[in-house]
Amino acid sequence: MASGDIKNTIADTSEGGQQLQLVTFGLGEEEFAVDILAVQEINRMMSLTRVPQSPPEVEGVINLRGKIIPVIDLRKRFGLTPSEQSEQSRIIVVEVHSRVLGFIVDRVSEVLRISSKIVEPAPTMVCSVDSDFIAGVGKLPDRLLILLDLSKLFDNHAALSAAA
Amino acid sequence: MSQMAFDPELMQDFLTESGELLDQLDQDLVTLETAPGDLELLNRIFRALHTIKGSASFLQLTNLVHVAHAAESCLNAARNRVFVVCRSDMDLLLAAVDTIKKQFDDIREGRDLTRADEEVVAKLAARGEGGGADHPHESAPDAAVATAPAATAPAATAPQPPAPECDAPSPSEPEVQVSGGASPETLGAAQERPLVLDPSKADLLDLLVVDVNETLTKLDAQVAQLTAEASRPGAAAALHELADNLNKTAEFFEFAPMSRLAQGLMKLASEARSHAIDPAVPPARLAMALIAEQAAGLSQRKLIERPIDSFLETFTGAMTQSATPAQSPTPAASPSAQAKPSTAAAAPSPASTAPAASPTGNAAGDAGEDKSREKHDAKAAEQTIRVEVGRLEALLNLVGELVLQKNRVNAMSRHIQAMNLGSQEFREQAGEVSGGLDRVTSDLQLAVMKTRMQPLDKIFGKYPRLIRDLAAKLGKKINLVIEGGETEVDKSVIEQLGDPLIHLMRNSCDHGLESPADRAAAGKSEVGTIRLSASNAGGHVEIRIADDGRGLNTKRISQKAIEKGLYTQAQIDQMSEQELCRIIFLPGFSTAEKISDVSGRGVGMDVVRSNIEKVKGTIDLINDPGKGCTVLIKIPLTVAIMSAMMVGVGPETYAVPLSSIVEIVRPEKDQLASINQSPVMRLRDTVLPLLQAAELFSLPASKRDDAPFAVVLSLSERRVGLMVSRLIGQQEVVIKPLDEELSRTGAGGPVSGATVRDDGGVSLIVDVPRLFELAEAEPRR
Segments making up each domain of chain A, as ranges: 3-163
* Residue A9, pLDDT score: 63
Most confident among B120-129, B220-229, B744-753 (mean pLDDT): B120-129
Evaluate if residue B135 carries a pLDDT over 70.
Answer: no
B559 domain-assigned: yes
Domain membership flag for residue B556: yes
Sheet holding B652-657, edge to edge: B726-734, B641-649, B652-657, B762-766, B751-756
- Kindly state whether residues B687 and B555 are assigned to the same domain: no
Residues in B touching A69 (Cβ below 8 Å): 739
The domain in which residue B472 lies consists of 455-636
B377 domain residue, yes or no: no
Of B581, B610, B636, the residue that ends a domain is B636
Q: What is the mean pLDDT of chain B?
A: 73
User: CB–CB of B764 and A101 under 8 A?
Assistant: no
Lowest mean pLDDT among A96-110, B253-267, B525-539, B701-715: B253-267
* B293 is a domain residue: yes
Residues B656 and B762 in one domain: yes
Q: Are residues B595 and B718 in the same domain?
A: no
For residue A156, what is the nearest residue in chain B, using CA coordinates? B741
pLDDT at B538: 66
The mean-pLDDT minimum among B199-208, B653-662, B704-713, B748-757 falls in B199-208
Task: Give the distance from residue B736's alpha carbon to the nearest chain A alpha carbon, in angstroms.
Answer: 7
- Count of the separate structural domains present in chain B: 5
- Report the residue from B652, B741, B756 with minimal CB separation from A157: B741
Chain A contact for B739 (CB, 8 A cutoff):
yes
Q: Is the ipTM of this complex over 0.90?
A: no
For residue B138, pLDDT over 80 is answered with no
Asked if residue B655 and residue B581 are part of one domain, the reply reads no
Q: Which residue has the higher pLDDT, B323 or B544?
A: B544
Predicted confidence at residue B140, as pLDDT, reads: 37
What integer best gives the mean pLDDT of chain A? 79
| B382 inside domain | no
Q: For A101, which residue in chain B has the nearest alpha carbon? A: B739
B745·A54 Cβ contact <8 A: yes
For residue B91, the SS3 value is: helix
Q: Are residues B135 and B36 in the same domain?
A: yes
Q: How far is B745 from chain A (nearest CA, A)?
A: 5
Interface contact B756-A156, CB threshold 8 A = no
Residues B663 and B680 in one domain: yes
- Residue B321 sits at φ, ψ, to 5 deg, of -70, -40
- Cα B99 to Cα B53: distance, rounded to the nearest angstrom: 13
Closest C-alpha to B511, from B559, B470, B549: B549
Residues of chain A with pLDDT under 70: 1-17, 123-131, 155-164
Indicate whether B184 and B297 sit together in one domain. yes
pLDDT, position B320: 46
Q: Are residues B465 and B613 in the same domain?
A: yes
Neighboring chain B residues of A66 at a CB cutoff of 8 Å: 400-401, 404, 736, 756
Q: What is the pLDDT of residue B132?
A: 37
Q: In A, what residues contact B, Cβ < 8 A?
A: 47, 49-55, 58, 60-63, 66-70, 99, 101, 156-157, 160-161, 163-164
d(CA B273, CA B239): 10
Q: Are B162 and B274 in contact (CB under 8 A)?
A: no
Q: Which helix (H) or strand (E) holds A27?
A: strand A19-27
B739, B743, B767: which to substitute to probe chain A, counting the most A Cβ within 10 Å? B739
pLDDT level of residue B664 (50, 70, 90 thresholds): very high
- Which of B398, B740, B742, B767 to mutate: most A Cβ within 10 Å? B742
- Eight-state DSSP code of residue B594: S
* Least reliable range by pLDDT among B198-212, B325-339, B758-772: B325-339
Give percent of chain B above pLDDT 70.
72
Q: How confident is the model at residue B238 (pLDDT cuts 50, 70, 90)?
A: confident
Interface contacts (A, B; CB < 8 Å)? 81
- Is residue B549 included in any domain, yes or no? yes
Contact B746 A52 (CB under 8 A): yes
Query: Range with the lowest mean pLDDT among A72-86, B109-123, B166-180?
Result: B166-180
Do B508 and B646 belong together in one domain?
A: no
Q: What is the distance in angstroms between the Cα of B734 and the nearest Cα belonging to chain A?
A: 10
Listed as own residue / partner, the contacts of B169-172 with beta carbons closer than 8 Å and 24 or more positions apart are B169/B217, B170/B137, B171/B137, B171/B140, B171/B210, B171/B213, B171/B214, B171/B217, B172/B140
A30 contact partners, CB below 8 Å, separation of at least 6: A127, A128, A129, A146
B656 shares its domain with B768: yes
Q: Is A68 close to B745, i.e. CB distance below 8 A? A: no
Is A68–B740 a contact, with Cβ atoms under 8 angstroms apart? no
B764 touches chain A (CB under 8 A): yes
Who contacts B605 (Cβ-Cβ below 8 Å, separation ≥6)?
B503, B507, B584, B585, B589, B590
Chain B residues touching A49 at Cβ < 8 A: 652, 754, 761-764
Question: CB-CB: which of A66, A99, A101 is closest to B756?
Answer: A66
Predicted TM-score (pTM) of the model is: 0.51
Please tell me the predicted confidence (pLDDT) of residue B724.
Answer: 93
Q: Are B585 and B620 in contact (CB under 8 A)?
A: no
Task: Evaluate whether residue B376 is within a structural domain.
Answer: no
Question: How much is the pLDDT for B709?
Answer: 92
Domain boundary among the residues B91, B117, B150 is at B150
Buried b (16+ CB within 10 A) or exposed e, B649-682: bbebbbbbbbbbbeebbebeeebeeeeeeeebbe
Which residues touch B286 (CB under 8 Å, ≥6 apart)? Answer: B178, B180, B182, B183, B184, B186, B187, B311, B339, B344
Strands B718-724 and B686-692: parallel
Residue B221: CB atoms within 10 A of its CB come to: 21
CA distance B618 to chain A (A): 24
CATH number at residue B474: 3.30.565.10
Mean pLDDT, range B398-402, rounded to an integer: 83
CATH 2.30.30.40 fits domain A3-163: no
Pair (B187, B324) in one structural domain: yes
Q: Do A49 and B749 make contact, defined as CB atoms within 8 angstroms?
A: no
What kind and span of H or E run contains B194? strand B191-194
Residue B774 has pLDDT above 80, yes or no: no
Beta bridge partners of A134: A148
Angle between helices B39-58 and B232-252 (to 10 degrees): 10
Q: Do B739 and A66 touch (CB under 8 A)?
A: no
Chain A residues in contact with B748 by the CB 8 A cut-off are 53, 164
Same domain, B5 and B131: yes
Specify the higher pLDDT residue, B296 or B724. Answer: B724
> Quick one: average pLDDT of B175-187?
49
Residue B378 forms part of a structural domain: no
DSSP of B621-665: EEEETTTEEEEEEEEES-SSEEEEEEEEETTEEEEEEGGGEEEEE
Q: Write out pLDDT tens, residues B80-111.
A: 777 777 777 788 888 888 888 888 888 888 77
Q: Give the pLDDT confidence score for residue A71 in this predicted structure.
A: 92
Nearest CA in chain B to A52: B697
- The answer to whether the beta carbons of residues B557 and B584 sit under 8 Å apart is yes
Residue B275: pLDDT band by 50, 70, 90 thresholds? low
**Is the predicted pLDDT of residue B173 greater than 60, yes or no?**
no
Digit-coded pLDDT (tens) for B460-501: 888 888 888 888 888 888 888 888 888 888 887 888 888 888
User: What's the pLDDT tens digit per position in B694-729?
Assistant: 888 888 888 888 889 999 998 877 889 999 999 998
B739 vs A contacts (CB less than 8 Å): 61, 68-70, 99, 101
